[in-house]
Amino acid sequence: MIMNYANYIDHTLLAMNATEDQIRKLCEEAKQYHFYSVCVNSGYVPLVTSLLKGSDVKVCSVVGFPLGAMLTSAKAFETEMAVKVGAEEIDMVINVGWLKSNDLTAVKEDIQAVFNACGSVPLKVILETCLLTKEEIVTVCTICKEIGVAFVKTSTGFSLSGATVEDVKLMRETVGDKMGVKASGGIRDRQTAEKMVQAGATRLGASAGIAIVSGDKASSSGY
């Protein structure tokens, strides 16, 4: 069976120096290859919404990116504004420091506030697994399952490392079959994408989407 990896891919450009021309190219590529979504920082959501209008590609915005360490109210407000201008999915970053401090109430309230701000828009929660112990990964996944978010996600792609097969498997085992698991960071070719999907990923965050669907090597390093 030949996998249609395009349906798994959030075609992503989150660099702080991403230009309007690069975002336009990203959207054209997403429409050409029928990727699931285009994922950008919230400041580009209005542009992406206009460029993807009438297509089958969704608009995804990151929130509290990439550190996740801002006020919960700021994350919730960014979420509300991103949804208002067209975001159809939200990827938020947890507050890793609160988790490391074992303030699980604050971690849960942070996620809950963004979940509430999303309304009917699906929420993906970024764990930044490279900074977490296995126990912490299970803890956050359990909280996300209790809240009812759509996905748990491995990484921002801006920290020490990205997705690993081991972490994706652990996340899938923890959340069960009804939630999504998004692998992101370091997925640069089809072989890696296949391993992530086999481990339980139902979405892939990548800037190398074209290389993944074509079976080629990515032309440069990136998300």
Residues belonging to the active site:
91, 153, 182
Taking a C-beta distance cutoff of 8 angstroms, is the pair 182, 154 a contact? yes
Cross-strand bridge partners of residue 204:
9, 183
Residue 59, C-beta contacts closer than 8 angstroms, at least 6 positions apart: 37, 38, 45, 48, 49, 52, 86, 87, 88, 89
| 45 phi, psi to nearest 5 deg | -60, -45
Taking a C-beta distance cutoff of 8 angstroms, is the pair 43, 15 a contact? no
Instruction: For strands 89-93 and 123-126, give the pairing.
Output: parallel
Taking a C-beta distance cutoff of 8 angstroms, is the pair 86, 55 a contact? no
Q: Which 3 state secondary structure label does DSSP give 139?
A: helix
